Chains A and B, each alone.
Chain A
């Protein structure tokens, strides 16, 4: 219905914007209408601040306005996302001091996608502060930029200077864009329903009943989660980008085959690119970036990755995950540079394959930290902490297996292999849309087979995208 109306309004892009804004608020309010108020608050504050900041020549006033924007946005984010975490984490300290911590912990519901749109709107005020962007004159346009429904709840985190110009001008819908958009939607649904949701069964089995797993069961669980989180998150990005393309919008690429990375820095050029580049531009570089001594750069890397981990969620396992990635970035930085590209012949592939394998194992270790959110019983009580899970995983990776592990391994391969074949084609060609380069008949065959696979092998029970919780 939204798309038909959008199409009918194609001669009037402002009407299209108004319709998309309504659709976005309805979509977001579907979870809880009160969340829309937060979205509105964020939009109003940054719209007003952006204009005032641009109009002002007084550096102190501009800085003050930026601080207000940061304060409001990060304050709301901090309250909803991190209050319980800090209150619970520091409760033992309060108790030791003779204080009663129970009253501090509130039952706060986390608004869906708050981390995504907060970072998106912050990019607007920071860019205006840096004089890299002019403010928009139309509140409706700005509100749409903040709430644009395809990417509102799980990204990509768009930059104001990339998305706003598209919002503020008429869009044209071209056939090549439509083809790319349809492919991205199909590919996204395939990754989500066929690969991610089937891998989730194996991953959940391993992480929720980790004490009953063999060594291979644990390793397979970590592998299944690596598959699940990549396919789940990148699927959302693909679908969001595909839908946007059908409406003439172009959102940034968020994933570039991260498991083909040969080093941590390569991984972060490929994984959740909209967040990693945001952290690079608005945190790492302002901290000093690569300038200064080695220790200074390492500090910047660690701070950036720790905060990147914390962005994912208010839990120690995410902090650990961030710290782990910071650490491997620091270690790789100390190693000699190279990705095997200077070598020739088979040696090149062996070296590069080896580097990929090492990086993939490191990524898996990271995912164990990330996924270890603890185990709760039916009543919601924490029966195993994150640390229990992490310790068990890394101390029980023995060469033992059960018949169930073999079945799970086979199932995982069954669902992953078709995707992997296309991924290899994408990596080798350097083109994520390589399938659309195929002649019409093989292209139709690939598209059709993916649709058939979704119908037959797709998991039908509704399951939310993992990154909705962030």
Chain B
């Protein structure tokens, strides 16, 4: 003990151990890590503060339990918080369900969700596809795909088929089954600031709409727009092979089910809407969709809708106030297009 007189700084004393004891010790450490991982997995399942994870799980759950609908809204996070199904129903009639997820899934989970829906309920009356212009040429991101509640085998069997190389499979499996490592930021927040978790957990309505309030500061939006512009200027328009396959599949399903696909450009900041590089991407995308989908794909907006800073959370995500305006504009255009062309019923 250091209580002797005078005080001495502590020293090291080797404590007896046998190789067997060390092995038991290491086994205990391993077990504790495995147990902590299991606890983390369970806790995150019910109370994850990760918006993306919650969103994906909820949307796939709605797909399974949301029943028959007239309008199936598929797409990325811009549509998730931009299109309010209840408001859309009041305009175009019927019942719609917003199943928009994340940009990292590109059009792949749109195709998979549509397949799953048709398998269960038959074709919907119409599909609305909402995507940002920057999702079309992204690579498949294994860690993101791991959040889709679908096995690796099924991902390989579905159209489009998504298969991973060994290293990607490891990443996929780790992301799915080792939350203690991959969901560290969520766990940190839950451990360090548990009182914030209810505040950051997103609210998603039973029709799949995720209203988000609170605009970002103009500086944040400007910074994000600048990054987006850089990206659009740097990369020419292109469509990843897996996206092309997904779009072919969606069109094939629409042909066989005889329903139209309404393509809607994601809303953007009005700082971005007239930027030439961005507009070129959008024009190229529209031309591509018309070429691939013919009459089956209907471009809802000739040009994207721009919103002022007070409605934006970044360059392409809007607040709930703007979502009402955006939904209204989209609803009106769908009605116009629908009146001009008779929609076939399933």
Contact = CB atoms under 8 A, between A and B. Distances in A.
A447 B24 CA distance: 12
B6 interface: yes
Nearest to B19: A175
B13 A431 contact: yes
B180 A176 contact: no
Interface string A337-362: 00111100000000010000000000
Given A176-B17, A178-B17, A179-B25, A445 B6 contact: no
A179 B15 CA distance: 8
Interface of B: 1-2, 4-19, 21-22, 24-26, 28-29, 31-33, 36, 180-181, 184, 187-188, 191-192
Contacts, number: 122
Interface centre among B9, B12, B16 (most CB of A within 10 A): B9
A180 B14 CA distance: 7
A260 B7 CA distance: 11
Contacts of B28: 440-441, 444-445, 447-448
Interface in A33-67: none
Nearest to A262: B7
A448 B32 contact: yes
A436 B15 CA distance: 6
Contacts of A430: 1-2, 8, 10-11
Contact of B32 (A410, A428, A449, A460): A449
A411 interface: yes
A339 B19 CA distance: 42
Nearest to A443: B25
A176 B13 CA distance: 10
Contact of A456 (B9, B11, B26, B184): B184
A23 interface: no
Contact of B14 (A176, A253, A460): A176
Contact of B2 (A177, A179, A428, A456): A428
A429 B11 CA distance: 9
Interface residues of A, number: 48
Interface in A389-437: 410-411, 414, 426-433, 436-437
A275 to B, nearest CB: 16
B22 A429 contact: no
B290 to A, nearest CB: 45
Nearest to B28: A444
A256 B22 contact: no
A9 interface: no
Given A179-B15, A451-B33, A270 B9 contact: yes
B25 to A, nearest CB: 5
A112 interface: no
A432 B184 contact: no
Contact of A455 (B12, B33, B191): B33
A269 B9 contact: yes
A176 B36 CA distance: 28
Interface centre among B13, B19, B31, B33 (most CB of A within 10 A): B13
Interface string A65-78: 00000000000000
A411 B31 CA distance: 28
Contacts of B16: 175-176
Contacts of B29: 444, 447-448, 451
Given A175-B19, A176-B16, A428-B1, 11 more contacts: A176-B14, A179-B22, A182-B22, A182-B26, A260-B9, A269-B9, A270-B9, A411-B192, A431-B10, A448-B28, A448-B36
A429 B17 contact: no
20 contacts: A179-B17, A180-B15, A253-B12, A257-B10, A266-B7, A341-B4, A414-B192, A428-B2, A430-B1, A431-B11, A432-B12, A433-B15, A436-B15, A436-B17, A445-B28, A445-B32, A447-B29, A448-B31, A455-B181, A456-B191
A433 B181 contact: no
B22 A178 contact: yes
Contacts of A431: 10-13
A261 B2 CA distance: 12
Contacts of B192: 410-411, 414
A457 interface: yes
Given A179-B25, A440-B24, A427 B2 contact: yes
Contacts of A444: 24-25, 28-29, 32
A122 B192 CA distance: 48
A432 B10 contact: yes
A381 B24 CA distance: 55
Contacts of A437: 13, 15
A133 to B, nearest CB: 24
8 A-B pairs with the lowest CB-CB distances in the bound complex, closest first: A448-B32, A444-B28, A256-B9, A430-B2, A179-B17, A341-B5, A448-B29, A436-B15
Contacts of A270: 9
A177 B14 contact: yes
A103 B239 CA distance: 56
A331 interface: no
A426 B14 CA distance: 13
Contacts of A433: 12-15
Contacts of B184: 455-457, 460
A285 interface: no
A179 B29 CA distance: 13
Contacts of A429: 1-2, 10
A175 B22 contact: yes
B9 A440 contact: no
